[in-house]
Chains A and B, each alone.
Chain A
Amino acid sequence: MSSSTLKPGSNARPTAECCSAGRTRASVSTWFTGLIRLLLSILREIFDESAYARFLARHSISSCPNAYAAFLREHGTAKARRPKCC
């Protein structure tokens, strides 16, 4: 709601400002939550947690020491062949 739609002298103006501030807070909060989620996704990918989750989904199994050992066998070879940059 823009302020140009409000009637002069009505008490709607502070409410509109309040709504606008609330919306801003909500959008900042959404943006911030999205940012945190994104950062976590990046970290999960870098630290191979996502790769493990995909492995579990692909084989339809749940996480356990044996599942992780199987993941390491599959993923470890590829990881070891990856050069680390200078």
Chain B
Amino acid sequence: MKKSIRTLVWLGVSILGALALGTIALHRGEEINAMWLVVAAFCAYALGYRFYSKFVSAKVLALDAQRATPAERLDDGRDFVPTNKWVVFGHHFAAIAGPGPLVGPVLAAQFGYLPGTLWILAGAVFGGCVQDFVILLFSVRRDGRSLTEMAREEIGVVGGFVAYAAVISIIVILLGAGALIVVNALKSSPWGVFTIAMTIPIALLMGFYLRHLRPGKVLEVSFLGFILVMLAIWGGQWVSQTPTVAPWFTLTAPALAIVIIVYGFAASALPVWLLLAPRDYLSTFVKLGTIGLLALGIIVLRPTLHMPPLTRFVDGSGPIFAGKIFPFAFITIACGAISGFHSLISSGTTPKLIRREPETRMVGYGAMMAESMVAIMATIACCVLQPGIYFAINSPAGVVGQLPESAAATISSWGFPVTAAGMHALAQAVGEQTLFNRTGGAPAFAVGMAHIFSSSLGGQAVMAIWYHFAIMFEALFILTVLDAGTRVGRFMVQDALSHFWKPLGRTSWYPSILATSALIVAAWGSFLWQGVKDPLGGINSLWPLFGICNQLLATVALCVATTIIVKMGKARYSPVTLVPLVWLVAVTFTASWHKIFDPNPRIGFLAHARQLASSATPSHEMSRLIFNDRLDAAVAGVLVCMVALILLESISVWVSVVSGRMQARVREAPFVPTRFAAEEQG
């Protein structure tokens, strides 16, 4: 294509993007079509990829097409395998796409659709995509080193230790928050509980089929598993409508929490092939299909957004979580904008599959753009609901009241009309007893998704099926993260304990397996229990804590990236990672300060503990709530102090290098020319 035509095309994309962004930002008092968000996102990603990522590739990282990657040099057909770039892209996307980009935007929509959308777009293009890209490349140039190893080698011992502590903390808090979302989605829902319960025998059956009947036919068995799950959803309706069977699957939140804790322990201790692997395959199969279906649904149906661009809760008085847009919108939406967890994937399996160095751009930067698009779709899914319905589903009983009438009156008084009768009819339509106080984001997302799908596929008659499909999809997704996270946490604890006593590090020694599994499950289980017992719904405290942990891990990743860029002698380009780093430090440190010390009991952990201590007669329950608040404050405080340490250590390295006191030397694997370049030319 001629240069002038290319210029015109990109000018057109820029103008269209500006028009779409202007429309979503400047419309007030009237509803807009969801396609404006989709167009704004596509244009932002296209421009970001074409121009910004190209600048980062060429000027900052100087991608070298002649340099052999570890997948080529260390090719062993097992861990290191040179793989087609589209295959690596798909693999990387499947690994980074979790429940986060679906839940965070739904919760942040309490501010309106605008803050979340702008943060998702800007955060991804200038922060998240850059982080994933640079960490992937730096890992590729270091034989696939992990983030913690790179932190130790490039920054120092403190950096390595902090990265390790941040990883294990984020895993524990993520699992607690994720399990709470599942509990809130499934409590008092026999249909949902039955469907999810059935995924366990289905996974066991898949494991047996794979191992003994058709070895290695994973796609085939995943498809069969998917059919069985769809049958389970269909059967769930019968269960929920049969008075003799429904009570078996109608569980309270504490009962569900106990079931999930026991499940987490069993899943961690059972052989991988039996439960973890087949569930992972099933979850991935459903995940990829559902994300594709949702994208298709939004593009074909072009729904209207009923949520205003900004709500009155920008002042920090939100019912879902308390706190102002800054910093809370930016820690609520992590995956989808910038997520520290991705740096673990970018320095895990993916760098060992990259065939050519320039492909890191498409895989690292591009896959994060796709993940960000999922977050935009989640924003759309919840914003197509009437705001009154959205707030009725997501607001905890502690804020809006226990009774449907009082909750409806409170929400209507905020300017978002909703009636108890209307909510009851909606609950009936989706096959639930009630939709009030279903905090956590998953039910609101499921209602929105069912609303979009039922507009064309099957109408209102199958809305309940779509709702439970969405609930199953999210719960399955989160429980798979729970299985895998518990096991990963267990391995990390075993690795650490092996320094004290070797047998504890043996991953096949059952006493060690049981002890370390119990330790990890107890850690996230205590957060889950705390959330279940929290009168404010739990999400109010747990999700911000998870967001802070995730963004602190991103801070660690960006410290590593900036340090390497400075050591490469490219300090003048360090703002590429330094600017998002400064932003994240401002966000996470401010959020942590608020969560610990804010005088508003709905925001500050310590203020809430003081309020509990002064307002109630002492009881065992009350003492535990107070202890939990203090524990949350301590966790946030310790994490911030640790990240401050790595930040100081990094700054010290940057100053030493820039001032010439330290030799600028990076620890890359030696250059070896690639044979693929010659093969492609030949």
Contact = CB atoms under 8 A, between A and B. Distances in A.
Contacts of A86: 98-100, 170, 174, 178, 334-335, 339, 341, 481, 546, 550
B488 A72 contact: no
A81 B491 contact: yes
A68 B284 contact: no
A7 interface: no
Given A82-B349, A85-B96, A49 B488 contact: no
Interface in A13-71: 38, 41-55, 57-58, 63-65, 67-69, 71
B90 A46 contact: yes
A1 interface: no
B216 A83 contact: no
B211 interface: yes
Nearest to B212: A65
Contact of B276 (A46, A75, A80, A83): A80
Contacts of B339: 85-86
Given A42-B90, A47-B284, A72 B487 contact: no
Contacts of A42: 86-87, 89-91
B81 interface: yes
B78 A54 contact: yes
A55 B76 CA distance: 10
A72 B219 CA distance: 16
Contacts of A58: 77-78
Contacts of B174: 86
B94 interface: yes
Interface string B88-105: 111100111111100000
Interface in B156-199: 170-171, 174, 178
A46 B348 contact: no
Given A42-B86, A82-B349, A85-B97, A49 B216 contact: yes
B96 A80 contact: no
Interface residues of B, number: 61
Contact of B218 (A38, A47, A78, A82): A47
Given A54-B77, A68-B215, A83 B272 contact: no
Given A85-B97, A86-B334, A45 B216 contact: no
B173 to A, nearest CB: 10
Interface string B454-492: 000000000000000000000000001100110110010
Nearest to B104: A86
B315 interface: no
Interface in B242-272: 271-272
Contacts of A68: 210-211, 215-216
A50 B90 CA distance: 14
Contacts of B277: 72, 76, 79
B405 interface: no
B273 interface: yes
A77 interface: yes
Nearest to A48: B218
B345 interface: yes
Given A57-B77, A58-B77, A72-B277, A84 B90 contact: no
Nearest to B371: A85
B219 A44 contact: yes
Nearest to B219: A47
Contacts of A45: 83, 87-88, 90-91
B84 interface: yes
A82 to B, nearest CB: 6
A52 B284 CA distance: 18
B284 A46 contact: yes
A10 to B, nearest CB: 33
B350 to A, nearest CB: 10
A3 B488 CA distance: 64
A33 to B, nearest CB: 15
B344 interface: yes
B99 A83 contact: no
A84 B211 contact: no
A77 B494 CA distance: 14
Contacts of B83: 45
B580 to A, nearest CB: 19
A32 B511 CA distance: 54
Given A41-B87, A69-B211, A52 B507 contact: no
Given A55-B78, A74-B78, A85-B97, A80 B484 contact: yes
Contacts of A74: 78
B142 interface: no
A49 B211 CA distance: 13
B625 to A, nearest CB: 26
B181 to A, nearest CB: 11
B281 interface: yes
Interface in B539-578: 546, 550
Contact of B91 (A38, A46, A77): A46
Nearest to B492: A81
Contacts of A77: 272, 507
Contacts of A38: 84, 86-87
A46 B281 CA distance: 9
A52 B215 CA distance: 9
Contacts of B211: 65, 68-69, 72
B145 interface: no
The winner among B94, B174, B344, B480 for most chain A CB atoms within 10 A is: B94
B215 A65 contact: yes
A55 B277 CA distance: 17
Contact of A72 (B273, B285, B484): B273
B289 to A, nearest CB: 11
B344 A83 contact: yes
Contacts of B280: 79, 84
Nearest to B76: A58
Nearest to B483: A84
Q: Which 7 A-B pairs have the closest CB atoms?
A: A68-B215, A42-B90, A76-B272, A86-B100, A47-B218, A84-B484, A52-B216
25 contacts: A38-B86, A41-B86, A45-B83, A46-B90, A46-B288, A47-B281, A47-B285, A48-B218, A54-B78, A65-B212, A68-B211, A68-B216, A76-B272, A76-B277, A77-B507, A79-B272, A80-B488, A83-B341, A84-B481, A85-B96, A85-B100, A85-B341, A86-B98, A86-B174, A86-B481
